[in-house]
């Protein structure tokens, strides 16, 4: 369980996040969503212990935490296999074992043909798959993701989301992910937390009952539309209802 209790953080005089409390339970996917400047990435950095919050406490009871950044952040001088195996090498897993694990993951991620390629020889989507492989390789039970698909085109993004959902179901991972894309949040998340813009406060929480495989496009569009009708979500994203008011 990952528990945020009354987290506040500020840079200088600017309060970035204010009074944030939530939990990520084992196997649960929590989406943090909100406009730019709502402190989403700051919260993720706090969860990864890259930042110590100015106030409040974070408790991480997960065994192993992995992170996927917005950019792949692969080592340019390592091949696909060695990049996937990086976290295993850090954990002193023997070379043959970690190569075997990385190979299997590369196959699962559709990177079999690119196993000996260096990052600059891969496309953006493939690089992000390698980053996903690196996160999965360490057998984490919590995955933190910071808009990892935002640099990809629609088709590639969709492909990776599907792949991620399949792998999440298989590995039973808990996920805390950040996205400014409501459709992505609805597609992947079991629970949605909507943050207001500066300072970031949780203005809306929503638990969906619909399991991932049954979330088809119709459902997602309808849900996003419904969310955008909710006053707190509307004001958070700065959406104005053009039909309302005058009509």
Partner 1 sequence: MKGKANNGDRNTAWYARCVSLAGITLLLVLWHLASLVYNPVVLPSPWATVSVLVTLTIEGQVIPTALITTAHALGGFGLAALPGSMLGIAAGINLWVRWLVWPVVTIFQGIPPIAWIVLALLWFGMGGGTPVFTVAVATLPIVFVGALEGTRTVDHTLLEMAYVFRIPRRMLISDIYLPHLLSYLFPVIIAGLGIAWKVALMAELLAANSGIGAKLGMARINLDTAAAMAWIAVAVLLMFTFEYVVLHPLKRWLEPWRQPAPLMDMPVDRMNHVVRSELVR
Q: Inter-axis angle of helices 124-137 and 95-108, to 10 degrees?
A: 130
The residue from 25, 91, 95, 166 that contacts partner 1 (CB under 8 A) is: 91
**Site for partner 1, residues 190 to 209, rule: CB under 8 A:** none
**Site for partner 1, residues 97 to 136, rule: CB under 8 A:** 113-114, 117-126, 134
State the distance between the two ends of the chain, measured CA to CA, in whole angstroms: 47
**Site for partner 1, residues 54 to 73, rule: CB under 8 A:** 65-67, 69, 71, 73
User: Taking the complex as a whole, how short is the minimal distance between the CB of residue 113 and partner 1, in angstroms?
Assistant: 8
Asked whether position 50 contacts partner 1 by CB under 8 A, the answer is yes
Asked whether position 180 contacts partner 1 by CB under 8 A, the answer is no
Query: Whole-angstrom Cα distance, residue 53 to residue 51?
Result: 6
Decide whether 69 or 219 has the Cβ nearer to partner 1: 69
Asked whether position 77 contacts partner 1 by CB under 8 A, the answer is yes
Asked whether position 233 contacts partner 1 by CB under 8 A, the answer is no
Decide whether 20 or 137 has the Cβ nearer to partner 1: 137
Asked whether position 87 contacts partner 1 by CB under 8 A, the answer is yes
User: Taking the complex as a whole, how short is the minimal distance between the CB of residue 79 and partner 1, in angstroms?
Assistant: 8
How many residues of this chain interact with partner 1, rule: CB under 8 A?
A: 37
For the record, the structure tokens of 73 come out as 């952040």
User: Taking the complex as a whole, how short is the minimal distance between the CB of residue 234 and partner 1, in angstroms?
Assistant: 29
Asked whether position 86 contacts partner 1 by CB under 8 A, the answer is yes
The residue from 15, 58, 89, 103 that contacts partner 1 (CB under 8 A) is: 89
Query: Whole-angstrom Cα distance, residue 130 to residue 213?
Result: 24
Decide whether 48 or 227 has the Cβ nearer to partner 1: 48
Tell me how crowded residue 166 is: count the other CB atoms within 10 A of its CB: 13
Site map for partner 1, 139-158, x if CB under 8 A?
-----x------xxx--x--
Binding site for partner 1 (CB under 8 A): 48, 50, 65-67, 69, 71, 73, 75-79, 86-87, 89-91, 113-114, 117-126, 134, 138, 144, 151-153, 156
């Amino acid at each position: 369980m990952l528990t945020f209790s009354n987290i506040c953080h500020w840079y200088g005089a600017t309060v970035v996040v204010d009074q944030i409390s939530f939990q990520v339970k084992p196997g649960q996917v929590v989406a943090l969503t909100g406009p730019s400047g709502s402190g989403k990435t700051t919260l993720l950095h706090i969860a990864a212990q890259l930042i110590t919050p100015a106030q409040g406490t974070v408790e991480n009871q997960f065994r192993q935490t992995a992170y996927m950044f917005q950019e792949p952040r692969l080592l340019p001088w390592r091949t696909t296999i060695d990049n996937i195996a990086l976290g295993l090498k850090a954990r002193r897993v023997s070379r043959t074992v970690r190569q075997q694990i990385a190979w299997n993951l590369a196959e699962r991620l559709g990177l079999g043909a690119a196993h000996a390629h260096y990052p600059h020889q891969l496309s953006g989507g493939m690089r992000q798959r390698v980053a996903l492989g690196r996160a999965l390789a360490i057998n984490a039970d919590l995955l933190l993701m910071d808009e990892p698909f935002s640099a990809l085109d629609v088709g590639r993004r969709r492909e990776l989301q599907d792949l991620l959902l399949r792998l999440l179901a298989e590995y039973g991972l808990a996920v805390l992910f950040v996205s400014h894309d409501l459709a992505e949040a609805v597609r992947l998340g079991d629970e949605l937390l909507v943050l207001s813009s500066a300072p970031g406060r949780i203005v809306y929480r929503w638990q969906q009952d619909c399991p991932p495989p049954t979330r088809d496009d119709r459902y997602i569009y309808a849900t996003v539309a419904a969310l955008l009708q909710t006053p707190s979500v509307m004001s958070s994203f700065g959406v104005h209802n053009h039909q309302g008011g005058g009509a």
